[in-house]
Amino acid sequence: MRKPRLLWQVAAAGWAGAIAATGLLPTQSAVSAVSGGHDDIATLSGHFAAYALLGLLLGVALGGWESPGRGMILAWALAATLGALIELVQGPLSYRDAQVVDMLVNAAGAAVGLLLLSAVARVMRSRSRHG
């Protein structure tokens, strides 16, 4: 395995771990303090951004920058599954609440991250052919 791909895999695993930790720890009071009472918008925006980055990182880790196509479906499935599992684990936790909308926003964020990766890969391929 090439070293750069390994670094992307470590980054993706680390980010997934950070998402899991923040998704399972009692962080609601911190979100309220930062958002100034706009918890729903802050939470959904945070979910979307976190999973967009996770989708991008997983896409590069599994498929690379130049040709991410092979790993994109698996990357999306892994990110969406992580989001769903975290929400399911949150259900019985007294200090968290599981939300179906969070699962959907997580999956949508991962998809957007992968679309961004696909667009960057297309530009990189175009530049390498013409430059």
Digit-coded pLDDT (tens) for 48-97: 999 999 999 999 999 888 777 778 999 999 999 999 999 999 999 998 88
In a domain, 24, yes or no: no
In a domain, 28, yes or no: no
Q: How confident is the model at residue 45 (pLDDT cuts 50, 70, 90)?
A: very high
In a domain, 79, yes or no: yes
How many domains, the chain? Answer: 1
- Any idea which residue has 């997580």 for tokens? 106
In a domain, 89, yes or no: yes
Q: What is the spatial distance between Cα 115 and Cα 96, in angstroms, rounded to a whole number?
A: 31
pLDDT in tens, 86-129: 999 999 999 888 999 999 999 999 999 999 999 998 888 888 77
In a domain, 46, yes or no: yes
In a domain, 71, yes or no: yes
Can you read off the two tokens belonging to residue 13?
Answer: 């695993």
Structural contact between residues 110 and 54, judged by C-beta atoms closer than 8 angstroms: yes
In a domain, 84, yes or no: yes
Angle between helices 28-35 and 39-63 (to 10 degrees): 110
* pTM of this structure: 0.88
**Residue numbers of the domain that contains 71:** 3-14+38-130
